[in-house]
Structure 1
């Protein structure tokens, strides 16, 4: 298991370095008139040139990259070109909002997907057909459309949940839960549908294997076989899908946080992209990749625990 973790960490760090390097190069090549954007259109050419020198934009690309990399290794991503606030402070302040939504979405999607997928695999019939319809709908309907529908029905008309805004958990668990319910529901719909489809297919495959017939011949009940044996063997496939869903949710959070006015990483990334605030964008990219690496590592460890054969692969 330790060798598996070491291999995955090495691969994750390599991916982090590659993504950060490519992002830095692309942002610097695509950036134009950043200094004028910071100062405004009324700035004189001399003021623009002075601002470019202050931001280091007059230095060669390699020199700027090495300076940024040295700071990033120490955890210092610089300061925002527009607000002057340290990048790390901006991201850490918004990270709990995004993680609250994404982690709760993963948990809700996982529980519902296992329940629906296993039920569809065991009973088939109308439950299975209904799952197919929901899976197609979850893949076809955009998340923002689900979010708008939920806001219209449950926030504007029924007034059960707040339409916008976020309350940290320090304001009370009830207020926090109410503020993230609709965003979580909007993200969880598609994730639950696709994961349930994967659980259903993997469970059906496991139920058709020889060891299941052997267990039945020994007198084990269908429920015990399904939950203790077939589901455990089918779990790695579901975990892999959930890890991919986590990555998709980080991208979907950009839209969801805009709709629900949530002060999260997605909101920060979009505003920084609009302004061309490169230090903040680079910090967001690094933090997001780190989260993806950690989640993939946890999934690999869980898969290795459930299926020892995966440790050697």
Structure 2
């Protein structure tokens, strides 16, 4: 198990480094005249030249990358080109909000996805068709439309939740729960159908195997067969799709946080990308990439616990 864990950690580190290199060069090649943007459109050539010298924008691209990579370890991930604030403090100060929304959404997706998937596979009928329709709709409807619909219904019309804003948990637990409920629902609703569809397919596959027919022939109750034996064997694919849904939810949170005015990574990700603030964008890329790698590592570990054969791969 230790070897399995070390292999996954090493592959995750290599993936994060490759992501950083690729993202940096793509960003820098796509941000022309960044010094002019920082200095302002009315700045003269002398001011622009000073900005280029200050941030090293006049140096070769490889040297710029080396300077940035050094700042990641030595200077709190560097400083924003536009605000001058440390990137690490800016990003980590907002990460907790985004992580809260993502974890809440994944938990909600996992619970209802598994329940709907198992019931659809064992009872079939109308509920089975509903699950398949939900899976298609979840992929077809953008997250921001779901968010707007929830705001119009539960905030504007019914007044049950605030339409926008975020209350820290330290200020009010009730206010915090109210402020994150609609964003979590907006992120989860688009993913529940896909997880339920995957669970349904996995459960149907396991139900048709010989050892399940043997268990039934021994007179074991159907619920025990399904929830103790079938669901354990079907858990591997369900975990994989749930890990994939975390990535989808994390990317969708960028827009959903903007809709609900949540002070997470989403608003600064959009702003910094439009400005071409490479150090800040790279900080967000590294943090989000690390979160995805950690979640995939946890999924791999759980897969190894459920199915020991995975540890041999």
> Same fold, TM exceeding 0.5?
yes
**Is the Cα contact below 8 Å between 1:97 and 1:166 reproduced in 2?**
no
Residue pair 1:38, 1:82 contacting (<8 A) in 2 also: yes
- Does residue 205 of structure 1 match 2:213? no
CA distance in 2, matches of 1:213, 1:113: 25
Judging changes above 3 Å, is the alpha-carbon distance between structure 1 residues 11 and 225 closer, same or farther for their aligned structure 2 residues?
A: same
Contact 2:121 2:128 in 1 (8 A): yes
List alignment gaps of at least 5 residues for structure 2.
Answer: none
Q: TM-score scaled to structure 2, two decimals?
A: 0.97
List gaps (5 residues or longer) in structure 1. none
Q: Which residue of 2 aligns with 1:181?
A: 181
Look up the match of 1:25: 25
- Distance across 1 between alignment mates of 2:117 and 2:108: 14
Distance 2:136 2:61 in 1: 46
Question: Which residues in structure 2 correspond to 1:247-266 (within 5 Å)?
Answer: 247-266=247-266
2:169 maps to what in 1?
A: 169
1:25 Cα offset (Å): 1.1
Distance in 1 (alpha carbons) for counterparts of 2:132 and 2:279: 44
Residues 206 and 74 of structure 1: is their aligned pair in 2 closer, same or farther, counting only changes over 3 Å?
A: farther
Pairing of 1:142-161 with structure 2 (within 5 A): 142-161=142-161
* Aligned match of 1:83: 83
The residue aligned with 2:285 is 285
Do residues 95 (structure 1) and 95 (structure 2) align? yes
Aligned structure 1 segments of 4 or more residues deviating by more than 4 angstroms:
none
Alpha carbons of structure 1 residues 158 and 311: separation in structure 2 relative to 1, 3 Å: same
SS in 2 for 1:228: helix
Q: May I ask how many residue pairs the two structures share in their alignment? A: 313
Range 82-91 or range 68-77, more displaced: 68-77
1:301 maps to 301
**C-alpha offsets along residues 12-69 of structure 1, whole Å, 9 cap, x if unaligned?**
1111111100111111222222222122122121111011100111111111111211
- State the Cα distance separating 1:75 from its structure 2 match: 6.9
C-alpha contact (below 8 Å) 1:250/1:266 kept by paired residues: no
Between 1:300-309 and 1:141-150, the stretch displaced more is 141-150
2:74 & 2:47 partners in 1: Cα distance? 32
Q: What are the superposed Cα offsets for residues 110-163 of structure 1, whole Å, 9 maximum, x if unpaired? A: 000111111111111122122122222222222111111111111111110111
> Quick one: distance in 1 between partners of 2:191 and 2:95?
21
Equivalence for 2:214: 214
In the aligned structure 2, how far is the partner of 1:237 from the partner of 1:184?
24
Residues 55, 178 of structure 1: CA spacing in aligned structure 2 closer, same or farther, 3 A cutoff? Answer: same
Q: Distance in 1 between matches of 2:75 and 2:188?
A: 33
TM norm structure 1: 0.97
